[in-house]
Amino acid sequence: MDLVQLQRQLVDYRTSLYHEGFLDEQFTQLKELQDENNPDFVVEVVSLFFEDSERLLNELSKALEQQVIDFKRIDAHVHQFKGSSSSIGAQRVQKLCIVFRNFCEAQNVEGCLKCLQQVKHEYSIVKTKLESMFQLERQILNAGGSVPV
Amino acid sequence: MVMTTAKVFTAVVSCVTALMLVHIIPDLLSVKTRELFLKNKAAELDREMGLIRTQEETGRHVRMLTHEIRSTLDRHTILKTTLVELGRTLALEECALWMPTRTGLELQLSYTLHQQNPVGYTVPIHHPMINQVFSSSHVVKISPNCPVARIRPAGKYMPGEVVAVRVPLLHLSNFQINDWPELSTKRYALMVLMLPSDSARQWHVHELELVEVVADQVAVALSHAAILEESMRARDLLMEQNVALDLARREAETAIRARNDFLAVMNHEMRTPMHAIIALSSLLQETELTPEQRLMVETILKSSNLLATLINDVLDLSRLEDGSLQLDLGTFNLYAVFREVLNLIKPIASVKKLHVSLNMAPELPEYAIGDEKRLMQTILNVVGNAVKFSKDGSILISAFVAKAELLRDSRTPEFFPVPGDNHFYLRVQVKDSGIGVSPQDIPKLFTKFAQTQSTAIRNSGGSGLGLAICKRFVNLMEGHIWIESEGLGKGCTAIFMVKLGIPERLNESKLAFMPKVPPNLGPAAFPGLKVLVMDENGVSRMVTKGLLVHLGCDVTMVSSSEECLRVVSHEHKVVFMDVCVSGMDGYEIAIRIQEKFTKRHERPIIVALTGNTDKVTKEKLMRVGMGGLILKPVSLDKMRSVLSDLLEHRVLFEAV
């Protein structure tokens, strides 16, 4: 695939991510912060997000498997997750976190478990999509072009 | 021898006698004179004793008389008693009292001792003898032939001596504080006393003195009686007024209840159709429309929004009356408000073939601080009235900054505008060439529901509330509104002045700033600014750092409150703190940081980053002394403007 096509593909892909609600304004903000002083800002932040999220999701699974469920702790984790997802603009994940927190407050185990599944699902989708996007960007850079804004 | 002795003896005795006589005779004489002297003295003393006794008696009489007179507050009894007692004490034949008539031109015989019912016998007041009596404060002997003295049956006898004395009639109005009653305006009554005829009695000095004293006492007693009468009358009047006031109050209460009931009903009736109009117009806007249609729908929506606001205000009349209504202050574009009014009014004006022009003075600031909605409402109401009451012609709207000298208008002495640095007075004049208002109706214009009787006005409709509401709003804006008109048919000028704030230059530049600078450029807006970021969440911490680094700041990151307290130094100008922090309460940290820096200028500004903003959070922040609150997620532009605000003012408050 030649450069122009790659670039077009990237743009379309990105647009679809926004359109489908996977990403929101905040992601655009992140991109604005990337400049010559900070050329890999977005990738760095997103990688950190992935690490953080995996850790949190593990903790959540473990917490919900306990005999006696510590809702406070679960709520704290979800709050963290909500914070990070909103920081990078992962809209769908963030919205789910809000729902999750409501279940926590209501101390609804069923609801929490269901939510956790949904969050895990959404997270893996957005992770895959972001990784694909980054791959496209790398391809473009390797082909000698510049990533369209 | 015996003879010689006897002769010598006789001679000696004669000598001695002679000698002795020489001494004795003067002594005898002096004794005699002294005797005479003493006798005279005794006689004098007797006389004096007699006088004293009479005086004492007189005094006793006076006291008794006074007592009698003062024992009653009834005017008639006072006078009657006086005459009776005087008559008895002085053994008078007749005693009479002449009172001045209402006209003051005659004296009327009011009381006599012996005649039971004196029949309206009058005597003109300007008689030389009477004048003589009136002009003297003493008792005056008058001739028995004087008209006032001729009240006895025609005397076959030698009439007794007559005296007369004036009795001052003091009126309440004569008693001013620090002011003695003027003698010239006094009214006098005349008391005439007649000694029995054929008694050859004469008036004695002590008797005359008695009469004078009595006359004065009578005057005092009469004035007391008058005061009492006056106060009784006043009390009756007050009672009547009380009853009337009570009735009025009850009527007013009924009226207020009726008005409130009316408002409650109309509330619902008015709001329902309004909501329908607004809702349906909004829905209509969402559909496919041609540009002209869209414009029309927009105008409908704008007008109905204004109308809805007006209805809300009208139906909250009681809130306006209470003064509990508060202005919604904000920064707004002054020119835009006027343009909006013009746009709303132009269609109606052009239908009536009225020409509307707007003249805005160049020195008017573009932005002002005030209640935009209500200012627009006021202008619209005033302009609307101008359009409503004009059949043709033109309407001129002019707006300018009121000059300091012209702020004090002689026509509005109760208005005291104070010029200052951060506010100005906007003066708006709306001049029309319509039917005008007659001068006596002008004060009524601002009264609710009051309408003038002109049929033209009645036909145009309107509830008469508009100007009353405008006046309330203008008053809330610390201004004044009034109408001038030269009369019916001569047009009308409505003028109002309101106080508006001048926005800080920063806000103006902020409004201009943001659209102009593209987000990609604008790096290093705050070069080297040392800031501290505290956030437990790694991702969000990194993003915040990225933002600040992009803006040129020198960022230190910490991930816990303890670390924050350890690391923070006076070099950090701003601390961004995520307050949804487990463990130590974010607010507590803020307090600790502030404690760490005793000197105010060393303290960093603390800004809270949070995902939720509610009243509780905000209040907590204010209490703790944080510089502001930012809602996550933070965009680049937001961060930029937050930093500029903070550094300019040291306080932000809320950036959403």
pLDDT, tens digit (0-9, with 9 covering 90-100), for B101-120: 777 778 888 777 776 555 66
Higher pLDDT, B388 or B447: B388
pLDDT at residue B26 in the model: 84
Q: Which residues of A touch B520 (CB under 8 A)?
A: 32
Output b/e per residue, B559-578; b: 16+ Cβ within 10 A.
bbbeebbeebeeebbbbbbb
**Residue B291 C-alpha, separation from nearest chain A C-alpha, in angstroms:** 29
Q: Which residues contact B548 (CB under 8 A, 6 or more apart)?
A: B531, B533, B555, B576, B639
Phi (first) and psi of residue B480, to 5 degrees: -150, 145
A38 vs B550: CB contact, 8 Å cut-off? yes
Q: Who contacts B2 (Cβ-Cβ below 8 Å, separation ≥6)?
A: none
Q: Is the pLDDT of residue B187 over 80?
A: no
The mean pLDDT value for B522-546 works out to 79
pTM of the model: 0.38
Q: Find out whether A90 and A125 touch, Cβ atoms under 8 Å.
A: no
pLDDT band of B177, cuts 50, 70, 90 = very low
Local confidence band at A129 (pLDDT 50, 70, 90 cut-offs):
very high
What angle do helix axes B372-388 and B291-315 make, rounded to 10 degrees? 100
Tokens of B478: 């610390």
**Tell me, what's the pLDDT at B436?**
79
Compute the nearest-CA separation of A19 from chain B (Å): 20
B351 or B586, which is more confident: B351
Task: Give the Cα separation of B596 and B615 in Å (integer).
Answer: 28
Residues 6+ apart with CB under 8 A from B555: B531, B532, B533, B545, B548, B549
| A4 CA: distance to closest CA in chain B (Å) | 24
Q: Is the pLDDT of residue B584 over 70?
A: no
On the question of pLDDT at B418 being above 70, the answer is: no
Q: Strands of B253-349 (E only): list them.
A: 330-333
- In this structure, the dihedral spanned by the alpha carbons of residues A38, A42, A44 and A50, taken in order and rounded to 10 degrees, is 170
Evaluate if residue A145 carries a pLDDT over 50.
yes
Give the DSSP H/E element, type plus range, for residue B610.
strand B605-610
Mean pLDDT over residues A117-135, rounded?
92
Its ipTM equals 0.84
On whether the CB atoms of residues B311 and B266 are closer than 8 A, the answer is no
> CB–CB of B543 and A87 under 8 A?
yes
Lowest mean pLDDT among B365-374, B475-484, B563-572: B563-572
Which helix (H) or strand (E) segment holds residue B11: the answer is helix B2-70
On whether any CB of chain B is under 8 Å from the CB of A78, the answer is no
Sorting pLDDT into bands at 50, 70 and 90, what band is B315?
Answer: low
d(CA B194, CA B207): 12
| Mean per-residue pLDDT, B169-174 | 60
Q: Which two tokens stand for residue B88?
A: 């008895």
> Is the CB of B543 less than 8 angstroms away from the CB of A45?
yes
Specify the 3-state DSSP secondary structure of B364. coil
Which tens digit of pLDDT belongs to each residue from B252-309? Answer: 888 887 877 777 777 777 778 888 888 888 888 888 889 888 888 988 988 888 888 7
The one-character DSSP state at A21 is T
> Which DSSP symbol is given to B634?
P
Provide the pLDDT confidence category of residue B30 given band limits of 50, 70 and 90.
Answer: confident
DSSP letters for A51-90? HHHHHHHHHHHHHHHSSS--HHHHHHHHHHHHHHHHHHTB
More confident residue, B189 or B240: B240
Q: Give Dmax (Cα) for chain B.
A: 193
Q: What is the mean pLDDT of residues A43-67?
A: 90
Place of tokens 């990105």: A14
- Chain B residues with CB-CB distance to A44 below 8 A: 542
Give the pLDDT of residue A6: 84
**A37 shares contact with chain B (CB less than 8 Å):** yes
Instruction: Report, as an integer, the average pLDDT of B581-608.
Output: 71
Q: Write the pLDDT tens digit of every residue in B393-410.
A: 889 999 988 876 555 554
pLDDT number for residue B429? 93
